[in-house]
Structure 1
Amino acid sequence: MFYGILAALAAMIVGLDQWTKWLTVTHIPSTNGSAVVKAIPGFFHITHIKNTGAAWSMLEGQTWLFVLVTAVFFVILGVLIWKKVLQKRFELVCLAMIAGGALGNLIDRVVSGAVTDMIRLEFVNFPVFNVADCFVTTGCALLIVYVLFFDRPKKSPPEQDGKAE
Structure 2
Amino acid sequence: MSAGSIAIDQLSKQWAVERLRGTPGLTPIPGIFELEFSFNPGSAFGLFAAYPNARLAFIAITLLSLVYMVWLLWRLPTVERWTATWGLALMSGGAIGNLIDRLVRIDVVELPIYEHIPFWALIQHPREMADALSRGRLRAELPRHGVVDFLVVHYWPGKRWPTFNVADVCLVVGVALFMLYLLRLGRKAGSDGDASAPFGGGT
1:78-104 C-alpha deviation (Å, 9 max, x unpaired): 23334x336422111100000011111
Alignment of 1:1-165 (within 5 A): 9-30=1-22, 35-60=24-49, 61=51, 62-82=54-74, 84-85=75-76, 87=78, 88-112=81-105, 113-123=145-155, 124-147=159-182, 149-152=183-186, 153=189, 154-155=191-192, 156-157=195-196, 158-159=198-199, 161=201
1:92-117 C-alpha deviation (Å, 9 max, x unpaired): 11000000111111000000220000
RMSD, aligned α-carbons: 2.0
Indicate how the Cα distance of structure 1 residues 160 and 19 shifts in structure 2: closer, same or farther if over 3 A, else same.
Answer: closer
How many residues matched? 150
Amino acid aligned to 1:159? F
- Residues in 1 aligned to 2:42 and 2:22: alpha-carbon distance in whole angstroms: 17
How far is 1:122 from its partner?
2.5
- Please report the TM-score for the alignment, with normalisation by the length of structure 1: 0.81
**Which residue number in structure 2 is paired with residue 6 of structure 1?**
none
1:46-78 C-alpha deviation (Å, 9 max, x unpaired): 010110112221111511111111100111122
Indicate how the Cα distance of structure 1 residues 136 and 161 shifts in structure 2: closer, same or farther if over 3 A, else same.
Answer: closer
- Residues in 1 aligned to 2:66 and 2:173: alpha-carbon distance in whole angstroms: 18
Whether the 8 Å CA contact 1:86–1:92 is kept in 2: the answer is: no
Indicate how the Cα distance of structure 1 residues 92 and 38 shifts in structure 2: closer, same or farther if over 3 A, else same.
Answer: same
1:112-161 C-alpha deviation (Å, 9 max, x unpaired): 220000001133432100001001011112222332x3222132332164
- Residues in 1 aligned to 2:2 and 2:94: alpha-carbon distance in whole angstroms: 8
- Please report the TM-score for the alignment, with normalisation by the length of structure 2: 0.67
Quote the sequence identity (%).
Answer: 29
**Larger-gyration structure (1/2):** 2
Indicate how the Cα distance of structure 1 residues 71 and 104 shifts in structure 2: closer, same or farther if over 3 A, else same.
Answer: same
Q: Which segments of 5 or more consecutive residues in structure 1 lack a partner in the other structure?
A: 1-8
Q: Which segments of 5 or more consecutive residues in structure 2 lack a partner in the other structure?
A: 106-144
Amino acid aligned to 1:131? V
